[in-house]
Structure 1
Amino acid sequence: MPIIINEKIKRIMKELVEKVAALYADFAKDANAQIENGNKAAGTRARKASLEIEKAMKEFRKASLEASKK
């Protein structure tokens, strides 16, 4: 029997996937700037982005677990 995901949870999960993708793009840009150019400010931004990615991934996991209960 297929799992029917609540529309609200489905929307939240979709938004989180988009958020993680955007955060990762920022992280990759800043991490490369630090690696290639030694840009310390970019390194700080990359570390901040990694923390935001971690938070968004935890939110996604929570929503995913909620969806699997339905």
Structure 2
Amino acid sequence: MSRLDEIKGIITGMEDDMVKFYEKGNKAAGTRARKELQGLKKLAQEVRLEIQDIKNNG
């Protein structure tokens, strides 16, 4: 799975919880969304470092 597919997968999985939290007020969905966002943040940092390494080492 490519890095872009991983990012898309997290965002797609998070969509339902975001809707449940913002539109329906489901607090548990908000907790799940926060956890998924934290995973997205971690993945984004990994991708940033990977890109930097490839850029510097060609």
Q: TM-score range by the shorter chain?
A: 0.7 to 0.9
DSSP-derived class of the 1:41 partner: helix
1:66 aligns with 2:53: yes
CA distance in 2, matches of 1:50, 1:63: 20
Task: Determine whether 1:16 maps to 2:7.
Answer: no
8 Å CA contact retained: 1:20, 1:53: yes
Q: RMSD in angstroms over aligned alpha carbons?
A: 1.3
State the TM-score, normalized to the length of structure 1. 0.73
Report the count of equivalent residues.
57
Question: Which one has the largest radius of gyration?
Answer: 1
Residue by residue over 1:12-66, the C-alpha shift from the partner in whole angstroms, topping out at 9 and shown as x without a partner, is xx63221111111122221111111111111110000000000000000011001
Counterpart of 1:55 in structure 2 is 42
Which structure shows the bigger proportion of residues in helix conformation?
2
Structure 1 position 44 matched with structure 2 position 31: yes
Which residues of structure 1 form unaligned runs of 5+? 1-13
TM-score by length of 2: 0.86
Q: Which has the higher contact order (CA 8 A, sep 6+)?
A: 1
